[in-house]
C-alpha cells in the first residue's frame, strides 16, 4: 500500500510517518512547509495566511508529479487548504487529516492559525483528532464528516526505555523533571514547587518569558528537546511531570503516553482521562494543584521501591492502552480500507 504523507519532517510528525513505514506501507513523506517564505508562521497567525494554500499547492504539485497512492494523510494541516487538497486528491483517492492539537475551538485561542485548515476540513474523507470533551461536536460544527477521536500516542522506537551510558546518566539525571514549553500559569506552578522544596529540572522553550524567570533560571537546563535527547532526559529522571494546556481543553497530552513508555514514574494533573488511562497510585500518581504536586513528588522521592513499581506498572499499561504510533497507523489503515470497500470517492 502506498501512502502520501504530508507533514513536517521533524518531531512527532516524522515519528508517525516512520510508524506507517514500519507496518509495511511505502511512504512518500513531503513537507508542506518546504516552499514557504520566511516568517510564514506570523503571517498565518495574524492574517490567516492569504496565499499560503496556493504556494503549498504549487510546491506539492511539482513534487508529486504523476505519482499515485492508495491514500494520503495530512499531518496537522495548518497550511494545507482546498487548493492543496485538490492537488493531493489527484494523487490519492482518500485523504485523511490527523491533528494532535485542538483547531476546533470557537473562538480559537491561537488567533487565525487554523483559518486554512477550517476551509479544508469539509473536504477530508476522515479527520482524526485527540480525545477531548465534546470534540466530536466541535469537529462536526467545523465541517468534519467522518470523525475518529483517539488517545495521544508515544512512539515504539523513539520512546522505548533507553540504555543510558554512564556519561548520559550523569548528564541527564534529575529528581523531578518537567519537559515543555512555557505558557501562562506554568511559571507560577514551577515557582511554587521550588518554594515547597521540590528538586526540579526544567527543559523547554520560551521560559525567559515567565514573570518568575529569575527564580526559575537556575532550574532550567536546556531549550527544546526532541527524539533521543528528549527520551534520555526523561529516562534520567526519577519522576516526570505532566501539565496540561487549558487553552486547548486538554485532559491528557503526548507526555501522558511518552513518559510511562520511556519507563519513568509519571506525576500528572488529575483528570478523567488520566484516571481512565492509569490506575492512580499503582501505574501513575496524580495531583490537584502545585501544593499537592509538591507533596506527591516528595513522598515518591522518599520511596524508591514504590516509585520503581509505579514506573514499571505504568510502562506495562501503555501496551494495554495501545497508545503507540504503530497502533494508530494500523487503525487509520483499517478505516481507509473500510472506506474503499464502502465505495468512498
All domains of the chain in start order, with CATH: 2-153+324-341 (3.40.50.2000), 166-321 (3.40.50.2000)
pLDDT of residue 19: 98
Residues facing residue 222 across a β-bridge? 203
Residue count (the chain): 345
pLDDT of residue 344: 61
pLDDT of residue 120: 97
pLDDT of residue 297: 98
pLDDT of residue 49: 95
pLDDT of residue 109: 82
User: What is the distance in angstroms between the CA of the first residue and the CA of the last residue of the chain?
Assistant: 18
Q: Which residue has the cell 526505555?
A: 161
Question: CA triplet 299, 261, 219: central angle to 5 degrees?
Answer: 50
pLDDT of residue 24: 98
Ranges of the chain whose pLDDT falls below 70: 343-345
pLDDT of residue 35: 86
Q: Please tell me whether residue 200 adopts helix, strand or coil conformation.
A: strand
What are the backbone dihedrals phi and psi of residue 74, each rounded to the nearest 5 degrees, phi first?
-100, 115
Taking alpha carbons only, the member of 55, 338, 111 closest to residue 330 is 338
Note whether 91 and 126 are within 8 A (CB): no
Amino acid at each position: 500500500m502506498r501512502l502520501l504523507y504530508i507533514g513536517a519532517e521533524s518531531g512527532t510528525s516524522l515519528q508517525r510517518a516512520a510508524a506507517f513505514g514500519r507496518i509495511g506501507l511505502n511512504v512518500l513523506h513531503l513537507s508542506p512547509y518546504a516552499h514557504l517564505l520566511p516568517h510564514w508562521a506570523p503571517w498565518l497567525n495574524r492574517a490567516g495566511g492569504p496565499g499560503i494554500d496556493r504556494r503549498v499547492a504549487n510546491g506539492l504539485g511539482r513534487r508529486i508529479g504523476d505519482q499515485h497512492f492508495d491514500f494520503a494523510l495530512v499531518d496537522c494541516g495548518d497550511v494545507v487548504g482546498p487548493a492543496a487538497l485538490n492537488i493531493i486528491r489527484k494523487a490519492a483517492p482518500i485523504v485523511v487529516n490527523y491533528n494532535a492539537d485542538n483547531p476546533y475551538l470557537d473562538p480559537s485561542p491561537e488567533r487565525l492559525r487554523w483559518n486554512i485548515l477550517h476551509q479544508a476540513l469539509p473536504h477530508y474523507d476522515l479527520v482524526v483528532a485527540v480525545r477531548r470533551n465534546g470534540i466530536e461536536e466541535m469537529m462536526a460544527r467545523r465541517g468534519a464528516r467522518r470523525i475518529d477521536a483517539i488517545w495521544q500516542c508515544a512512539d515504539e522506537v523513539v520512546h522505548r526505555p533507553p540504555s543510558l551510558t554512564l556519561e548520559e546518566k550523569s548528564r541527564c539525571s534529575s529528581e523531578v523533571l518537567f519537559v515543555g514549553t512555557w505558557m501562562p500559569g506554568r511559571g507560577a506552578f514551577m515557582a511554587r514547587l521550588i518554594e515547597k522544596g521540590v528538586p526540579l529540572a526544567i527543559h523547554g522553550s520560551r521560559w525567559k518569558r515567565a514573570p518568575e524567570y529569575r527564580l526559575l533560571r537556575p532550574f532550567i537546563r536546556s531549550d527544546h528537546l526532541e527524539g533521543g535527547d528528549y527520551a534520555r532526559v526523561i529516562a534520567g529522571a526519577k519522576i516526570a511531570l505532566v501539565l496540561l494546556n487549558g487553552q486547548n481543553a486538554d485532559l491528557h497530552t503526548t507526555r501522558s503516553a511518552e513518559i510511562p513508555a520511556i519507563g519513568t514514574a509519571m506525576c500528572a494533573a488529575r483528570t478523567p482521562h488520566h484516571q481512565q488511562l492509569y490506575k492512580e497510585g499503582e501505574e501513575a500518581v496524580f495531583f490537584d494543584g502545585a501544593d499537592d504536586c509538591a507533596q506527591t513528588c516528595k513522598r515518591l522521592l522518599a520511596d524508591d521501591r514504590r516509585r520503581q513499581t509505579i514506573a514499571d506498572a505504568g510502562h506495562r499499561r501503555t501496551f494495554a492502552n495501545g497508545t503507540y504510533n504503530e497502533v494508530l497507523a494500523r487503525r487509520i489503515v483499517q478505516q481507509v480500507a473500510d472506506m474503499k470497500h464502502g465505495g468512498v470517492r
